[in-house]
Structure 1
């Protein structure tokens, strides 16, 4: 089965639409949504509604820290721009949409894979996986051979051998990477709605469990329209300008 991995949409309709279209063209049979559907962007209601539709059709979805902030209130760790976006977003969502976000689990295990927003060892602690030590801690917390995470806004792939040797590398878009089950893998597809690796193109990845391959993808989208919506909504202008250079 071909599984599309999409995360950190952040209320960016144009990026989400572009990624869903490309995932369909690449033959995705199921979708896994790894959280942070809202925050930063100007189309939270549309994005949440689309996520609801996809879940109704069989998609996997987990809750991210920005989704959590809508339900429980922003944590002290959120920067001021993010807090302002959360306050604005709450006013755009219906009670049913907020209830939907509240119903999402923090992690899902399915077919030997773990799906979680931040990490496997403390899914509600929102610790970032920024290097090998955090990746090892996460992989030690699960028996699943493949873990798929969001939270970090640039694509990375970690793997650990049966002897505990850890390695990582930056994937090349469009190139299938073998991810056999005799190793443990932790993949971060990168952000669909707010990439931060210097490339403004939206991120997503495709896991083919029949072939045991993982392919990372980048999709250009109309980020100028997205940015204009953010400014028109009265959200911080920095949330629009960072889409241009992917930072």
Structure 2
């Protein structure tokens, strides 16, 4: 069994469809790590498409909370807050109901699924070794899968010394996961590692392996829809550069 791991789709249906096409039949289960909506123009469509995926486990992110009116917009920067207000008006009652139903955390076997971090499931970013090291004590499973940063990352903890290291993994390379680890598949809909291609992960729990994959998609068409929807132009521009 293989698991498709996606995060931070951010209402970008074109990127989501590119990821699903690239993954093909190479998975039986889907884990979605939150932020289905926000920034992009296709919130309702993305939520509906994700809900159709097989054996889905899905959690909520900070943008999901905010679009439902359950987070203080002053936490967000100006453009993100503006996009949340506009996106909220675009959401159907069914979409909002589904987003509100999502939990902050799911556990499946030896994996904990959260959006931000194990100790702060919605809001904290895990960007460096020091923050990762502080979070290993906050989950009991071998692995934690996180999103939020929009960066494909892997942090490992040595079972003897407890030393936490950032592991650099390249797209398409199969990586054995032999220790406790925090894994981030990157962002489907708005990557921020200077690579504009959509990012996702494939986890094999039988063989304990992890792969990051990158997929090109039709960015100009998404940019046009962002502008046509009245969303901040910045969120269109950044897609071309992956920041």
Equivalent residue pairs, number: 241
Question: How far 1:51 moved relative to its partner?
Answer: 2.1
Aligned residue number for residue 159 of structure 1: 156
Question: How far 1:73 moved relative to its partner?
Answer: 4.1
Name the stretch that deviates more: 104-113 or 75-84: 75-84
Question: How far 1:170 moved relative to its partner?
Answer: 2.4
SS in structure 2 at match of 1:217: strand
Does structure 2 conserve the Cα–Cα contact (< 8 Å) formed by 1:4 and 1:32?
yes
Aligned residue number for residue 40 of structure 1: 39
Question: How far 1:143 moved relative to its partner?
Answer: 1.3
Aligned residue number for residue 12 of structure 2: 12
**Hey, what's the Cα distance between the residues in 2 that align with 1:74 and 1:226?**
28
Aligned residue number for residue 170 of structure 1: 168
RMSD: 1.1
Unpaired segments ≥5 residues, structure 1: none
Aligned residue number for residue 59 of structure 1: 56
Does structure 2 conserve the Cα–Cα contact (< 8 Å) formed by 1:155 and 1:170?
no
SS in structure 2 at match of 1:210: coil
**Hey, what's the Cα distance between the residues in 2 that align with 1:74 and 1:12?**
24
In structure 1, which of residues 237, 240, 246 is the aligned counterpart of residue 242 of structure 2?
246
**Hey, what's the Cα distance between the residues in 2 that align with 1:217 and 1:151?**
18
Structure 1 residue 212 and structure 2 residue 212: aligned?
no
Does structure 2 conserve the Cα–Cα contact (< 8 Å) formed by 1:74 and 1:86?
no
Aligned residue number for residue 198 of structure 2: 202
Q: Please, what TM-score do these two structures have when normalized by structure 1?
A: 0.95
Question: How far 1:75 moved relative to its partner?
Answer: 3.4
Aligned residue number for residue 141 of structure 2: 144
Unpaired segments ≥5 residues, structure 2: none
- What do the CA deviations read for 1:177-210 (whole angstroms, capped 9, x no partner)? 0002xx2110111111000111100000100111
SS in structure 1 at match of 2:17: helix
